[in-house]
Chains A and B, each alone.
Chain A
Protein backbone atom coordinates (compact mmCIF):
# COMPACT_ATOMS: atom_id res chain seq x y z
CA UNK A 1 0.00 0.00 0.00
CA UNK A 2 2.94 2.32 0.56
CA UNK A 3 4.65 2.10 -2.80
CA UNK A 4 4.66 5.08 -5.11
CA UNK A 5 4.04 4.72 -8.81
CA UNK A 6 7.75 5.10 -9.57
CA UNK A 7 8.81 2.16 -7.41
CA UNK A 8 5.73 0.09 -8.01
CA UNK A 9 6.85 -3.43 -8.97
CA UNK A 10 4.01 -3.94 -11.36
CA UNK A 11 2.67 -0.63 -12.49
CA UNK A 12 5.98 0.94 -13.40
CA UNK A 13 5.79 4.44 -14.76
CA UNK A 14 6.56 3.43 -18.34
CA UNK A 15 3.83 0.79 -18.28
CA UNK A 16 1.34 3.41 -17.15
CA UNK A 17 2.68 5.80 -19.73
CA UNK A 18 2.14 3.30 -22.54
CA UNK A 19 -1.34 2.60 -21.15
CA UNK A 20 -2.37 6.23 -20.98
CA UNK A 21 -0.59 7.31 -24.17
CA UNK A 22 -0.49 4.23 -26.33
CA UNK A 23 1.89 4.49 -29.30
CA UNK A 24 0.57 3.66 -32.75
CA UNK A 25 -3.00 3.53 -31.54
CA UNK A 26 -5.70 3.75 -34.17
CA UNK A 27 -6.44 2.44 -37.64
CA UNK A 28 -4.61 2.30 -40.94
CA UNK A 29 -6.26 3.09 -44.22
CA UNK A 30 -6.21 0.09 -46.56
CA UNK A 31 -4.03 -2.14 -44.41
CA UNK A 32 -2.39 -5.14 -46.05
CA UNK A 33 -3.12 -7.24 -42.99
CA UNK A 34 -5.76 -6.78 -40.34
CA UNK A 35 -6.54 -9.13 -37.47
CA UNK A 36 -8.29 -9.16 -34.09
CA UNK A 37 -8.18 -11.49 -31.12
CA UNK A 38 -10.14 -11.59 -27.85
CA UNK A 39 -8.94 -12.46 -24.43
CA UNK A 40 -11.55 -15.04 -23.43
CA UNK A 41 -10.78 -14.36 -19.79
CA UNK A 42 -12.12 -10.86 -19.74
CA UNK A 43 -13.58 -10.09 -23.15
CA UNK A 44 -10.84 -7.63 -24.04
CA UNK A 45 -10.10 -7.24 -27.71
CA UNK A 46 -6.97 -6.15 -29.52
CA UNK A 47 -6.68 -5.68 -33.26
CA UNK A 48 -3.67 -4.80 -35.38
CA UNK A 49 -3.33 -3.45 -38.87
CA UNK A 50 -0.17 -3.59 -40.94
CA UNK A 51 1.12 -2.05 -44.11
CA UNK A 52 3.87 -4.18 -45.60
CA UNK A 53 6.19 -3.19 -48.40
CA UNK A 54 9.03 -5.27 -49.84
CA UNK A 55 8.85 -7.62 -46.90
CA UNK A 56 9.17 -4.81 -44.37
CA UNK A 57 6.50 -3.61 -41.95
CA UNK A 58 6.15 -0.05 -43.07
CA UNK A 59 3.44 0.93 -40.66
CA UNK A 60 1.42 -0.69 -37.90
CA UNK A 61 -1.41 0.43 -35.68
CA UNK A 62 -3.38 -1.29 -32.95
CA UNK A 63 -6.84 -0.74 -31.56
CA UNK A 64 -9.09 -2.23 -28.91
CA UNK A 65 -9.50 -2.06 -25.20
CA UNK A 66 -7.93 -3.77 -22.31
CA UNK A 67 -6.00 -3.54 -19.10
CA UNK A 68 -2.75 -1.68 -18.58
CA UNK A 69 -0.73 -4.82 -19.20
CA UNK A 70 -2.35 -5.73 -22.53
CA UNK A 71 -2.37 -2.16 -23.78
CA UNK A 72 1.23 -1.47 -22.77
CA UNK A 73 2.38 -4.75 -24.29
CA UNK A 74 0.61 -3.91 -27.55
CA UNK A 75 2.03 -0.42 -27.58
CA UNK A 76 5.57 -1.65 -26.96
CA UNK A 77 5.17 -4.34 -29.61
CA UNK A 78 4.08 -1.90 -32.30
CA UNK A 79 7.07 0.31 -31.54
CA UNK A 80 9.30 -2.63 -32.16
CA UNK A 81 7.49 -3.77 -35.31
CA UNK A 82 7.67 -0.55 -37.24
CA UNK A 83 10.36 -0.84 -39.90
CA UNK A 84 11.09 -4.45 -39.05
CA UNK A 85 11.41 -7.05 -41.82
CA UNK A 86 8.57 -9.58 -41.61
CA UNK A 87 11.06 -12.39 -41.16
CA UNK A 88 12.42 -10.74 -38.05
CA UNK A 89 8.95 -10.00 -36.72
CA UNK A 90 8.22 -13.68 -37.11
CA UNK A 91 10.94 -14.48 -34.63
CA UNK A 92 9.57 -12.36 -31.80
CA UNK A 93 8.92 -14.70 -28.91
CA UNK A 94 6.87 -14.68 -25.76
CA UNK A 95 10.01 -14.13 -23.75
CA UNK A 96 10.84 -11.10 -25.88
CA UNK A 97 7.47 -9.55 -25.11
CA UNK A 98 7.59 -10.39 -21.41
CA UNK A 99 11.19 -9.16 -21.24
CA UNK A 100 10.24 -5.88 -22.80
CA UNK A 101 7.46 -5.37 -20.26
CA UNK A 102 10.14 -5.85 -17.64
CA UNK A 103 7.84 -6.85 -14.80
CA UNK A 104 6.85 -10.10 -13.13
CA UNK A 105 3.67 -11.25 -14.81
CA UNK A 106 1.53 -13.57 -12.74
CA UNK A 107 0.00 -16.62 -14.45
CA UNK A 108 -3.39 -14.93 -14.18
CA UNK A 109 -2.22 -12.05 -16.32
CA UNK A 110 -0.03 -13.76 -18.89
CA UNK A 111 -2.83 -13.87 -21.45
CA UNK A 112 -3.15 -10.10 -21.14
CA UNK A 113 0.56 -9.63 -21.75
CA UNK A 114 0.63 -11.92 -24.78
CA UNK A 115 -2.63 -10.96 -26.47
CA UNK A 116 -0.99 -8.58 -28.93
CA UNK A 117 1.68 -11.13 -29.81
CA UNK A 118 -1.10 -13.56 -30.61
CA UNK A 119 -2.70 -10.97 -32.87
CA UNK A 120 0.63 -10.55 -34.65
CA UNK A 121 1.21 -14.28 -35.07
CA UNK A 122 -2.27 -15.42 -36.00
CA UNK A 123 -3.08 -12.39 -38.07
CA UNK A 124 0.08 -11.69 -39.96
CA UNK A 125 1.29 -15.22 -40.35
CA UNK A 126 -1.82 -17.35 -40.17
CA UNK A 127 -0.18 -19.40 -37.47
CA UNK A 128 -2.43 -21.27 -35.10
CA UNK A 129 -2.35 -19.53 -31.74
CA UNK A 130 -0.47 -21.75 -29.34
CA UNK A 131 -1.58 -19.73 -26.36
CA UNK A 132 -1.74 -22.64 -23.97
CA UNK A 133 1.97 -23.26 -24.17
CA UNK A 134 4.12 -22.11 -21.33
CA UNK A 135 1.33 -20.84 -19.11
Chain B
Protein backbone atom coordinates (compact mmCIF):
# COMPACT_ATOMS: atom_id res chain seq x y z
CA UNK B 1 0.00 0.00 0.00
CA UNK B 2 2.66 2.49 0.96
CA UNK B 3 4.35 1.80 -2.36
CA UNK B 4 1.19 2.04 -4.43
CA UNK B 5 1.37 5.80 -4.71
CA UNK B 6 4.52 7.85 -5.21
CA UNK B 7 3.79 11.51 -4.80
CA UNK B 8 0.90 12.16 -7.11
CA UNK B 9 1.49 9.10 -9.29
CA UNK B 10 -0.21 5.77 -8.75
CA UNK B 11 1.83 2.60 -9.06
CA UNK B 12 -0.82 0.74 -10.98
CA UNK B 13 1.10 -2.54 -11.25
CA UNK B 14 1.30 -2.74 -7.46
CA UNK B 15 -2.31 -1.72 -7.05
CA UNK B 16 -3.46 -4.42 -9.45
CA UNK B 17 -1.94 -7.12 -7.22
CA UNK B 18 -4.55 -6.19 -4.60
CA UNK B 19 -7.40 -7.06 -7.00
CA UNK B 20 -7.51 -10.84 -7.53
CA UNK B 21 -10.35 -10.54 -10.04
CA UNK B 22 -8.03 -8.79 -12.48
CA UNK B 23 -5.98 -12.00 -12.68
CA UNK B 24 -8.90 -13.62 -14.51
CA UNK B 25 -7.85 -11.69 -17.59
CA UNK B 26 -10.79 -9.31 -17.83
CA UNK B 27 -10.34 -5.74 -18.95
CA UNK B 28 -12.77 -4.18 -16.52
CA UNK B 29 -14.02 -0.92 -17.99
CA UNK B 30 -17.20 -0.52 -15.98
CA UNK B 31 -16.06 1.02 -12.71
CA UNK B 32 -18.61 3.84 -12.87
CA UNK B 33 -21.20 1.09 -12.55
CA UNK B 34 -19.49 -0.68 -9.69
CA UNK B 35 -15.82 -0.81 -8.86
CA UNK B 36 -13.75 -3.87 -8.08
CA UNK B 37 -12.73 -4.47 -4.48
CA UNK B 38 -9.23 -5.07 -3.21
CA UNK B 39 -8.20 -7.86 -0.83
CA UNK B 40 -7.99 -5.29 1.96
CA UNK B 41 -11.75 -4.78 1.70
CA UNK B 42 -12.80 -8.39 1.34
CA UNK B 43 -10.24 -9.26 4.02
CA UNK B 44 -11.75 -6.85 6.53
CA UNK B 45 -15.19 -8.31 5.87
CA UNK B 46 -13.92 -11.87 6.14
CA UNK B 47 -12.22 -11.06 9.41
CA UNK B 48 -15.54 -9.87 10.81
CA UNK B 49 -17.31 -13.04 9.67
CA UNK B 50 -14.62 -15.34 10.97
CA UNK B 51 -13.47 -13.59 14.15
CA UNK B 52 -16.18 -11.35 15.62
CA UNK B 53 -19.41 -11.93 13.76
CA UNK B 54 -22.18 -10.61 16.04
CA UNK B 55 -24.73 -7.86 16.18
CA UNK B 56 -23.68 -4.36 17.10
CA UNK B 57 -24.85 -1.99 19.83
CA UNK B 58 -26.76 -4.71 21.64
CA UNK B 59 -24.63 -7.33 23.29
CA UNK B 60 -22.35 -7.30 26.30
CA UNK B 61 -19.78 -9.85 25.15
CA UNK B 62 -16.41 -8.97 23.72
CA UNK B 63 -16.84 -9.97 20.07
CA UNK B 64 -19.88 -7.71 19.88
CA UNK B 65 -17.81 -4.91 21.29
CA UNK B 66 -15.21 -5.53 18.62
CA UNK B 67 -17.90 -5.56 15.89
CA UNK B 68 -19.40 -2.33 17.21
CA UNK B 69 -16.01 -0.69 17.36
CA UNK B 70 -15.19 -1.61 13.76
CA UNK B 71 -18.62 -0.61 12.55
CA UNK B 72 -18.46 2.76 14.26
CA UNK B 73 -14.83 3.08 13.25
CA UNK B 74 -15.88 3.39 9.63
CA UNK B 75 -17.87 6.47 10.56
CA UNK B 76 -14.78 8.36 11.67
CA UNK B 77 -12.88 7.24 8.56
CA UNK B 78 -15.69 8.50 6.35
CA UNK B 79 -15.98 11.71 8.34
CA UNK B 80 -12.31 12.41 7.76
CA UNK B 81 -12.53 11.37 4.09
CA UNK B 82 -15.30 13.88 3.34
CA UNK B 83 -14.22 16.36 6.03
CA UNK B 84 -17.56 16.49 7.82
CA UNK B 85 -17.40 18.34 11.12
CA UNK B 86 -18.87 15.49 13.16
CA UNK B 87 -19.59 11.76 12.89
CA UNK B 88 -23.18 12.68 13.80
CA UNK B 89 -23.47 13.95 10.26
CA UNK B 90 -22.45 10.64 8.71
CA UNK B 91 -25.45 8.34 8.19
CA UNK B 92 -25.06 4.81 6.88
CA UNK B 93 -27.41 3.87 4.07
CA UNK B 94 -27.44 1.11 1.48
CA UNK B 95 -26.11 3.54 -1.09
CA UNK B 96 -26.78 6.76 -2.94
CA UNK B 97 -30.30 5.76 -3.88
CA UNK B 98 -31.35 5.13 -0.31
CA UNK B 99 -29.58 8.29 0.87
CA UNK B 100 -31.50 10.46 -1.60
CA UNK B 101 -34.76 8.71 -0.79
CA UNK B 102 -34.11 9.34 2.88
CA UNK B 103 -33.80 13.06 2.23
CA UNK B 104 -36.80 13.14 -0.11
CA UNK B 105 -38.90 11.43 2.54
CA UNK B 106 -37.67 12.80 5.84
CA UNK B 107 -36.74 16.30 4.76
CA UNK B 108 -38.85 16.68 1.65
CA UNK B 109 -42.27 15.73 2.98
CA UNK B 110 -41.94 18.28 5.74
CA UNK B 111 -40.34 21.11 3.80
CA UNK B 112 -41.53 20.96 0.19
CA UNK B 113 -44.92 22.61 -0.10
CA UNK B 114 -47.48 23.21 -2.79
CA UNK B 115 -46.13 25.50 -5.47
CA UNK B 116 -42.49 25.09 -4.42
CA UNK B 117 -39.81 24.73 -7.06
CA UNK B 118 -37.25 21.93 -7.17
CA UNK B 119 -34.29 22.35 -9.53
CA UNK B 120 -32.57 19.25 -10.94
CA UNK B 121 -30.44 18.77 -14.04
CA UNK B 122 -30.84 16.78 -17.23
CA UNK B 123 -27.53 15.07 -16.39
CA UNK B 124 -28.90 13.45 -13.27
CA UNK B 125 -29.14 9.76 -12.55
CA UNK B 126 -32.65 8.34 -12.09
CA UNK B 127 -31.97 8.06 -8.38
CA UNK B 128 -31.69 11.83 -8.21
CA UNK B 129 -34.82 12.34 -10.29
CA UNK B 130 -37.48 9.79 -9.39
CA UNK B 131 -37.58 10.43 -5.60
CA UNK B 132 -38.11 14.14 -6.33
CA UNK B 133 -40.78 13.42 -8.91
CA UNK B 134 -42.65 11.35 -6.34
CA UNK B 135 -42.25 14.08 -3.72
CA UNK B 136 -43.32 16.80 -6.15
CA UNK B 137 -46.41 14.83 -7.13
CA UNK B 138 -47.32 14.18 -3.50
CA UNK B 139 -46.78 17.74 -2.28
CA UNK B 140 -47.75 19.72 -5.35
CA UNK B 141 -44.30 21.07 -6.18
CA UNK B 142 -42.85 21.62 -9.66
CA UNK B 143 -39.52 20.48 -11.05
CA UNK B 144 -37.28 22.26 -13.54
CA UNK B 145 -34.28 20.65 -15.17
CA UNK B 146 -31.13 22.54 -16.08
CA UNK B 147 -30.20 21.70 -19.66
CA UNK B 148 -26.77 20.96 -21.12
CA UNK B 149 -24.90 22.63 -23.94
CA UNK B 150 -23.47 20.84 -26.97
CA UNK B 151 -20.42 19.78 -24.95
CA UNK B 152 -22.54 18.02 -22.37
CA UNK B 153 -21.91 20.70 -19.75
CA UNK B 154 -24.63 22.28 -17.67
CA UNK B 155 -26.12 25.53 -18.94
CA UNK B 156 -25.14 27.70 -15.99
CA UNK B 157 -26.94 30.69 -17.50
CA UNK B 158 -30.14 28.69 -17.23
CA UNK B 159 -29.24 27.51 -13.75
CA UNK B 160 -28.86 31.11 -12.56
CA UNK B 161 -32.16 32.06 -14.20
CA UNK B 162 -33.90 29.25 -12.32
CA UNK B 163 -32.32 30.37 -9.06
CA UNK B 164 -34.08 33.71 -9.47
CA UNK B 165 -37.33 31.81 -8.95
CA UNK B 166 -36.16 30.91 -5.41
CA UNK B 167 -36.22 27.12 -5.56
CA UNK B 168 -36.72 25.33 -2.27
CA UNK B 169 -34.36 22.54 -3.25
CA UNK B 170 -31.51 22.23 -5.71
CA UNK B 171 -30.13 18.72 -6.32
CA UNK B 172 -27.49 17.77 -8.85
CA UNK B 173 -24.65 15.34 -9.41
CA UNK B 174 -21.06 16.32 -8.76
CA UNK B 175 -20.02 14.21 -11.73
CA UNK B 176 -22.29 12.76 -14.42
CA UNK B 177 -22.17 8.98 -14.57
CA UNK B 178 -23.31 8.96 -18.19
CA UNK B 179 -21.02 11.59 -19.73
CA UNK B 180 -18.36 12.05 -17.08
CA UNK B 181 -19.01 15.80 -16.98
CA UNK B 182 -17.50 17.36 -13.87
CA UNK B 183 -19.98 19.97 -12.75
CA UNK B 184 -18.73 23.19 -11.11
CA UNK B 185 -20.20 21.98 -7.83
CA UNK B 186 -18.73 24.59 -5.48
CA UNK B 187 -19.88 27.44 -7.63
CA UNK B 188 -23.33 25.90 -8.06
CA UNK B 189 -23.77 25.20 -4.35
CA UNK B 190 -22.72 28.74 -3.44
CA UNK B 191 -25.18 30.25 -5.91
CA UNK B 192 -28.00 27.96 -4.81
CA UNK B 193 -27.36 28.68 -1.14
CA UNK B 194 -27.30 32.40 -1.86
CA UNK B 195 -30.70 31.97 -3.51
CA UNK B 196 -31.98 30.39 -0.29
CA UNK B 197 -32.22 26.80 -1.50
CA UNK B 198 -31.41 23.63 0.37
CA UNK B 199 -28.81 21.79 -1.68
CA UNK B 200 -28.21 18.08 -2.18
CA UNK B 201 -25.20 16.90 -4.13
CA UNK B 202 -25.23 13.38 -5.58
CA UNK B 203 -21.64 12.35 -5.04
CA UNK B 204 -21.93 8.79 -6.36
CA UNK B 205 -19.37 9.56 -9.07
CA UNK B 206 -17.67 12.36 -7.19
CA UNK B 207 -16.54 10.78 -3.94
CA UNK B 208 -14.79 7.80 -5.60
CA UNK B 209 -12.91 9.79 -8.20
CA UNK B 210 -12.45 13.37 -6.98
CA UNK B 211 -13.10 13.05 -3.29
CA UNK B 212 -15.00 15.79 -1.51
CA UNK B 213 -14.69 18.29 1.30
CA UNK B 214 -18.31 18.77 2.30
CA UNK B 215 -17.53 21.85 4.40
CA UNK B 216 -15.70 23.56 1.55
CA UNK B 217 -18.44 22.48 -0.84
CA UNK B 218 -21.04 23.92 1.51
CA UNK B 219 -23.92 21.63 0.55
CA UNK B 220 -26.63 20.54 2.95
CA UNK B 221 -26.68 16.91 1.90
CA UNK B 222 -24.15 14.74 0.08
CA UNK B 223 -24.90 11.15 -0.97
CA UNK B 224 -22.58 8.41 -2.20
CA UNK B 225 -22.18 4.64 -2.56
CA UNK B 226 -19.41 2.48 -1.15
CA UNK B 227 -19.52 0.00 -4.02
CA UNK B 228 -18.31 2.56 -6.53
CA UNK B 229 -15.24 3.34 -4.41
CA UNK B 230 -13.72 -0.10 -3.76
CA UNK B 231 -16.20 -1.01 -1.03
CA UNK B 232 -18.86 -3.72 -1.07
CA UNK B 233 -22.44 -3.28 -2.25
CA UNK B 234 -24.99 -2.49 0.44
CA UNK B 235 -23.14 0.28 2.26
CA UNK B 236 -23.28 3.94 1.36
CA UNK B 237 -23.38 7.30 3.04
CA UNK B 238 -25.66 10.22 3.53
CA UNK B 239 -23.88 13.28 4.85
CA UNK B 240 -26.26 15.91 6.18
CA UNK B 241 -25.76 19.16 8.04
CA UNK B 242 -26.53 18.57 11.66
CA UNK B 243 -29.27 21.19 12.12
CA UNK B 244 -31.16 19.73 9.20
CA UNK B 245 -30.75 16.14 10.33
CA UNK B 246 -31.82 17.04 13.88
CA UNK B 247 -35.04 18.57 12.58
CA UNK B 248 -35.89 15.63 10.35
CA UNK B 249 -38.12 12.70 11.22
CA UNK B 250 -36.78 9.16 10.87
CA UNK B 251 -36.96 7.41 7.51
CA UNK B 252 -37.14 3.75 8.48
CA UNK B 253 -38.21 3.01 12.01
CA UNK B 254 -38.09 0.08 14.41
CA UNK B 255 -35.25 -1.37 16.43
CA UNK B 256 -32.00 0.44 17.16
CA UNK B 257 -33.20 3.91 16.16
CA UNK B 258 -34.99 4.51 19.46
CA UNK B 259 -34.14 5.65 22.96
CA UNK B 260 -37.29 4.36 24.56
CA UNK B 261 -40.46 2.83 23.23
CA UNK B 262 -43.60 3.04 25.32
CA UNK B 263 -47.12 2.37 24.30
CA UNK B 264 -47.79 6.09 24.66
CA UNK B 265 -45.03 6.89 22.18
CA UNK B 266 -41.36 6.67 21.32
CA UNK B 267 -38.33 8.85 21.72
CA UNK B 268 -35.84 8.59 18.90
CA UNK B 269 -32.18 7.92 19.21
CA UNK B 270 -29.59 10.65 18.75
CA UNK B 271 -27.85 11.29 15.48
CA UNK B 272 -26.67 9.42 13.52
CA UNK B 273 -28.51 6.33 14.78
CA UNK B 274 -31.93 7.96 14.45
CA UNK B 275 -31.67 7.09 10.76
CA UNK B 276 -30.29 3.59 11.16
CA UNK B 277 -33.20 1.31 11.96
CA UNK B 278 -32.89 -2.43 12.26
CA UNK B 279 -29.84 -4.65 12.01
CA UNK B 280 -27.37 -2.91 9.76
CA UNK B 281 -25.08 -4.10 6.98
CA UNK B 282 -22.27 -4.60 9.49
CA UNK B 283 -19.76 -6.45 7.32
CA UNK B 284 -20.37 -4.06 4.44
CA UNK B 285 -19.84 -1.00 6.59
CA UNK B 286 -16.60 -2.52 7.88
CA UNK B 287 -15.61 -3.17 4.26
CA UNK B 288 -16.40 0.42 3.38
CA UNK B 289 -14.04 1.53 6.15
CA UNK B 290 -11.25 -0.53 4.58
CA UNK B 291 -12.06 0.99 1.17
CA UNK B 292 -11.78 4.50 2.58
CA UNK B 293 -8.44 3.56 4.14
CA UNK B 294 -7.25 2.26 0.78
CA UNK B 295 -8.23 5.40 -1.11
CA UNK B 296 -6.93 7.68 1.61
CA UNK B 297 -3.64 5.81 1.43
CA UNK B 298 -3.38 6.51 -2.27
CA UNK B 299 -4.51 10.11 -1.98
CA UNK B 300 -7.41 11.41 -4.03
CA UNK B 301 -5.16 13.72 -5.98
CA UNK B 302 -3.16 10.78 -7.25
CA UNK B 303 -6.38 8.91 -8.05
CA UNK B 304 -7.67 11.83 -10.05
CA UNK B 305 -4.34 12.31 -11.86
CA UNK B 306 -4.24 8.66 -12.92
CA UNK B 307 -7.82 8.70 -14.17
CA UNK B 308 -7.14 11.82 -16.11
CA UNK B 309 -4.13 10.28 -17.80
CA UNK B 310 -6.09 7.15 -18.78
CA UNK B 311 -9.07 9.21 -19.89
CA UNK B 312 -6.91 11.40 -22.13
CA UNK B 313 -5.29 8.32 -23.60
CA UNK B 314 -8.65 6.65 -24.25
CA UNK B 315 -10.23 9.81 -25.62
CA UNK B 316 -7.42 10.16 -28.12
CA UNK B 317 -7.53 6.48 -29.11
CA UNK B 318 -11.29 6.55 -29.62
CA UNK B 319 -11.17 9.85 -31.50
CA UNK B 320 -9.04 8.14 -34.14
CA UNK B 321 -11.71 5.55 -34.95
CA UNK B 322 -13.94 6.31 -37.91
CA UNK B 323 -17.70 6.19 -37.41
CA UNK B 324 -17.36 6.76 -33.67
CA UNK B 325 -19.18 9.60 -31.93
CA UNK B 326 -17.94 10.75 -28.53
CA UNK B 327 -20.37 12.38 -26.12
CA UNK B 328 -19.53 14.87 -23.42
CA UNK B 329 -16.81 17.38 -22.65
CA UNK B 330 -13.09 17.22 -23.52
CA UNK B 331 -10.99 14.92 -21.34
CA UNK B 332 -9.62 17.70 -19.16
CA UNK B 333 -13.14 18.54 -18.03
CA UNK B 334 -14.45 15.08 -17.38
CA UNK B 335 -13.96 12.21 -14.96
CA UNK B 336 -12.87 8.73 -16.06
CA UNK B 337 -15.97 8.06 -18.12
CA UNK B 338 -16.28 7.96 -21.90
CA UNK B 339 -19.65 7.52 -23.57
CA UNK B 340 -19.71 6.86 -27.28
CA UNK B 341 -21.68 5.42 -30.17
CA UNK B 342 -20.67 3.57 -33.31
CA UNK B 343 -22.39 4.20 -36.58
CA UNK B 344 -24.60 1.26 -37.52
CA UNK B 345 -23.70 -0.77 -34.45
CA UNK B 346 -25.93 -0.80 -31.42
CA UNK B 347 -24.09 -0.40 -28.08
CA UNK B 348 -25.50 -3.74 -26.93
CA UNK B 349 -23.95 -5.51 -29.86
CA UNK B 350 -20.63 -3.83 -29.21
CA UNK B 351 -20.80 -4.89 -25.56
CA UNK B 352 -21.52 -8.49 -26.57
CA UNK B 353 -18.59 -8.53 -28.98
CA UNK B 354 -16.32 -6.87 -26.40
CA UNK B 355 -17.39 -9.45 -23.86
CA UNK B 356 -16.01 -12.20 -26.07
CA UNK B 357 -12.62 -10.49 -25.69
CA UNK B 358 -13.22 -10.27 -21.93
CA UNK B 359 -13.65 -6.52 -22.19
CA UNK B 360 -16.37 -5.45 -19.73
CA UNK B 361 -18.22 -2.51 -21.19
CA UNK B 362 -21.54 -0.91 -20.27
CA UNK B 363 -24.20 -0.43 -22.90
CA UNK B 364 -27.51 1.23 -22.20
CA UNK B 365 -29.07 4.39 -20.89
CA UNK B 366 -26.96 4.42 -17.71
CA UNK B 367 -30.03 5.20 -15.60
CA UNK B 368 -30.14 8.61 -17.26
CA UNK B 369 -33.02 8.30 -19.71
CA UNK B 370 -33.84 12.04 -19.72
CA UNK B 371 -30.25 12.69 -20.78
CA UNK B 372 -30.39 10.03 -23.50
CA UNK B 373 -33.61 11.58 -24.80
CA UNK B 374 -31.89 14.98 -24.75
CA UNK B 375 -28.99 13.55 -26.76
CA UNK B 376 -31.43 11.90 -29.15
CA UNK B 377 -30.12 8.38 -28.57
CA UNK B 378 -31.62 5.34 -26.90
CA UNK B 379 -28.35 4.17 -25.49
CA UNK B 380 -24.60 4.66 -25.57
CA UNK B 381 -21.61 2.44 -24.94
CA UNK B 382 -19.60 3.55 -21.95
CA UNK B 383 -16.09 2.80 -20.79
CA UNK B 384 -15.13 3.95 -17.31
CA UNK B 385 -11.84 3.80 -15.47
CA UNK B 386 -10.42 3.61 -12.00
CA UNK B 387 -7.19 3.27 -10.08
CA UNK B 388 -6.39 -0.15 -11.56
CA UNK B 389 -7.09 0.69 -15.21
CA UNK B 390 -4.09 0.46 -17.55
CA UNK B 391 -3.56 1.62 -21.07
CA UNK B 392 -3.43 -1.89 -22.52
CA UNK B 393 -7.03 -2.35 -21.41
CA UNK B 394 -7.98 0.69 -23.44
CA UNK B 395 -6.09 -0.87 -26.36
CA UNK B 396 -8.17 -4.02 -25.94
CA UNK B 397 -11.31 -1.91 -26.10
CA UNK B 398 -10.09 -0.39 -29.34
CA UNK B 399 -9.51 -3.93 -30.64
CA UNK B 400 -13.09 -4.93 -29.75
CA UNK B 401 -14.47 -1.84 -31.47
CA UNK B 402 -12.55 -2.67 -34.63
CA UNK B 403 -13.75 -6.27 -34.45
CA UNK B 404 -17.33 -5.05 -34.16
CA UNK B 405 -16.85 -2.77 -37.14
CA UNK B 406 -15.45 -5.68 -39.13
CA UNK B 407 -18.42 -7.92 -38.29
CA UNK B 408 -20.96 -5.21 -39.02
CA UNK B 409 -19.26 -3.70 -42.06
Contact = CB atoms under 8 A, between A and B. Distances in A.
Interface residues of B, number: 21
A66 interface: yes
The 4 A-B pairs of least Cβ separation, nearest first, read A67-B346, A67-B348, A43-B378, A43-B365
Given A1-B357, A16-B408, A44 B378 contact: yes
A109 B347 CA distance: 12
Interface of B: 344, 346-349, 352-353, 356-357, 363-365, 369, 372, 378-379, 399, 403, 406-408
Contact of B378 (A8, A65, A68): A65
Interface string A1-23: 10001001011000010001000
A10 B399 contact: no
Contacts of B369: 43
Contacts of B349: 11, 67-69
Task: Tell me if B's interface is mostly helix, strand, loop or mixed.
Answer: helix
Given A16-B407, A68-B346, A42 B352 contact: no
Interface in A65-79: 65-69
Given A1-B357, A109-B348, A109-B352, A43 B364 contact: yes
Nearest to A112: B348
A42 B379 contact: yes
Contacts of B407: 5, 8, 11, 16
B352 A44 contact: no
B363 A1 contact: no
A109 B353 CA distance: 12
Contact of B364 (A5, A8, A42): A42
A56 interface: no
B363 A42 contact: yes
A10 B352 contact: yes
B378 A42 contact: yes
Contact of A41 (B346, B357, B364, B403): B364
A1 B403 contact: yes
A122 interface: no
Interface in A32-77: 41-45, 65-69
10 contacts: A11-B349, A41-B364, A42-B363, A42-B378, A43-B364, A43-B372, A44-B346, A66-B348, A67-B346, A67-B347
